[in-house]
Amino acid sequence: MTHSTSDRTADQPVTPGDTESIDPAVFDELTRLRESIDNIDAAVVHMLAERFKCTQQVGHLKAAHRLPPADPAREARQITRLRQLAESAKLDPGFAEKLLNFIIAEVIRHHETIARS
Ligand SMILES: C=C(O[C@@H]1C=C(C(=O)O)C=C[C@H]1O)C(=O)O
């Protein structure tokens, strides 16, 4: 059985996936916003891919010159800088720090693999 928007009162939540019962104007707005989210997610993936291309080169340079995979002093400077950028962009600095640490941990793992190879 299908439901029109008039079958549902405002206080009843819409079942996830039940797009037919969403007000068409709301659905259009949601679709527009989701298209932007998809574009942003694609940009993030492409930017991360470029970042990892650079960090792979750093990994090979470090391995060739017997430099350690991690550089905690550089990381500390990056975190300070990113927290400041996040603050001015009204992004949670704690979240920015966690994200950078997550990415750096993956980079260091790659550098350790390169150094062993
Ligand atoms: C890429 C480097 O190696 C590691 C990874 C970093 C990063 O992903 O930004 C930063 C510092 C290092 O711990 C580097 O030393 O520049």
Residue 33: CATH number of its domain = 1.20.59.10
In sequence order, what are the residues at sequence separation of 6 or more whose Cβ sits closer than 8 angstroms to the Cβ of residue 63? 111, 114, 115, 117
Is the ipTM reported for this complex over the cut 0.95? yes
pLDDT tens, 20-66? 888 999 999 999 999 999 999 999 999 999 999 999 999 999 999 99
Residue 1 domain flag:
no
Does the pLDDT at position 97 exceed 70? yes
75 lines ligand 1 (CB under 6 A): yes
Residue 77 domain flag:
yes
Looking at 1-117, list the stretches that DSSP marks H as alpha helix, in order from N- to C-terminal side: 24-64, 72-88, 93-116
Domain span including residue 71: 22-116
Residue 57 domain flag:
yes
Confidence of residue 1 (pLDDT cuts 50, 70, 90): very low
Name residue 4's amino acid.
Answer: S
pLDDT tens, 67-92? 999 999 999 999 999 999 999 999 99
Ligand 1 pocket mutation pick from 51, 75, 80 by most atoms within 8 angstroms of CB = 75
